Amino acid sequence: MIVRLGDFRFPDTPDRLYPRTPQRPWVLEIGFGDGRFWPHHARSFPEAPNYLGVELSGVSLLKAQRRLNAAGLDNAVLTKLPADVLLREVVPAGGLDRIVVNFPDPWPKAGHTDHRLLRAPFFRLAASRLKPGGDLLLTTDHDEYFDFAVAEAHASGVMAVQTAEPPAAALETKYALKWRDLGLGVHHARFTPTAAVTVPHGAAQPYPEDESTVPHAVLTLPATFAPTDFDKVTQRDPGGAWTVILLDLYGSLRRDGWVALAHVVEDGLTQEVLVGITPREDGTHLVRLAKFGGPVITPGVKAAVAAVTGWLEGHGAVVRHRGY
């Protein structure tokens, strides 16, 4: 089953994600590519553990879903997100039995190591989301990234490292076969938490059923308000938590109002959200985050509603109420 960020809870639970098998062990695979690992690996258990797979590539997501369906693995959730966002926002503290990373992108060029997944802050986050006795398995062909990951795990201060043989299924992934055909070997390590670590969840919330808590504002527009052009607006949180870019403003033919398109970037998460500006019966206008696209409500998304409101104030609107 493919689940979008907006359909998760923050944090979520096995009871909700795997209602028929909530008691089974829970495995997260990061960067599953075309999804070959899990159908192989799941067979090595008497009962397939609950599986959570996270990928950045939408094409990979569809390929993997086909493989999991063909293997009859119905207690599997796939999602398209950066792994650290999923771990931080969605996975509960101490929720996972295992995290698997097979052939992560090595970012080999000098100066690109900041893009690597397995850095010390990530190991701390992973340790906080693993159960006691849980582990993180890394298999890679890349000598330098392997040494880098081991050094970062030590630097995190919360992970012990053992080198070992990889699980057989890790040698059957698309990238494993690619490196094997080139005659290259692989490295494998098992990282286990050595200390209890707390990494708080962020402030993400699902779009509420009760629309009264959706970020909004009520304002009175000047009678002459009829925008004909729109210049991009960029706002940054002084603390660096988010950047909001208002990209465009569209007239609504159906509702006699407008819709602003905003790009919101915060802590690894990027969302494109729509903010509606619609007339109300009493002559005021409602500025409100639209449900379209399944947005997750975060401080950056609230800031996008505030930015639209501020832009309207700059064009003569008088704000009656702020709900963000």
Ligand X SMILES: C[S@@+](CC[C@H](N)C(=O)[O-])C[C@H]1O[C@@H](n2cnc3c(N)ncnc32)[C@H](O)[C@@H]1O
Q: What are the residue numbers of the active site? A: 105
User: Interface with ligand X includes 166 (CB under 6 A)?
Assistant: no
Q: Binders of ligand X among 122-151, rule CB under 6 A?
A: none
C-alpha to C-alpha distance for 281 and 261, rounded to whole angstroms: 24
C-alpha to C-alpha distance for 102 and 27, rounded to whole angstroms: 13
Whether 216 contacts 324, CB under 8 Å: yes
29 annotated ligand binder: yes
To ligand X, the closest distance from the beta carbon of 29 in angstroms equals: 8
User: Interface with ligand X includes 117 (CB under 6 A)?
Assistant: yes
C-alpha to C-alpha distance for 183 and 173, rounded to whole angstroms: 15
Which is closer to ligand X, CB of 18 or CB of 175?
A: 175
User: Interface with ligand X includes 79 (CB under 6 A)?
Assistant: no
Which is closer to ligand X, CB of 50 or CB of 102?
A: 102
CA–centroid distance for 212 within its chain: 26
7 annotated ligand binder: no
143-156 vs 120-129: helix axis angle to the nearest 10? Answer: 60
User: Which residue among 50, 75, 102, 309 contacts ligand X (CB under 6 A)?
Assistant: 102
User: Which residue among 18, 26, 32, 191 contacts ligand X (CB under 6 A)?
Assistant: 32
Reduced 3-state DSSP string for 36-84: CHHHHHHCCCCCCCEEEEEECCHHHHHHHHHHHHHCCCCCEEEEECCHH
To ligand X, the closest distance from the beta carbon of 206 in angstroms equals: 21
User: Which residue among 5, 77, 83, 153 contacts ligand X (CB under 6 A)?
Assistant: 83
To ligand X, the closest distance from the beta carbon of 64 in angstroms equals: 9
55 annotated ligand binder: yes
Count the residues of the shown chain that bind ligand X, applying the rule CB under 6 A. Answer: 20
Site string for ligand X, 173-212 (x = CB under 6 A): xxxx------------------------------------
User: Which residue among 10, 18, 26, 33 contacts ligand X (CB under 6 A)?
Assistant: 33
| Amino acid letter for position 206 | P
C-alpha to C-alpha distance for 283 and 323, rounded to whole angstroms: 18
Site string for ligand X, 205-234 (x = CB under 6 A): ------------------------------
| Amino acid letter for position 140 | T
209 annotated ligand binder: no
Whether 52 contacts 98, CB under 8 Å: no
Which residue bears the tokens 């960020």?
Answer: 5
To ligand X, the closest distance from the beta carbon of 79 in angstroms equals: 9
Q: In 94-190, where does DSSP find H-type helix?
A: 120-129, 143-156, 174-181
Residue 247 neighbours by CB distance under 10 Å: 13
User: Interface with ligand X includes 89 (CB under 6 A)?
Assistant: no
Whether 73 contacts 100, CB under 8 Å: no
266 annotated ligand binder: no
User: Interface with ligand X includes 105 (CB under 6 A)?
Assistant: yes
Measured at the alpha carbon of residue 223, what is the angle toward residues 279 and 289, in degrees to the nearest 5? 30
Q: Name the site residues for ligand X (rule: CB under 6 A).
A: 30-33, 54-57, 60, 82-83, 102-105, 117, 173-176
- What residues form the annotated binding site for substrate? 109, 141
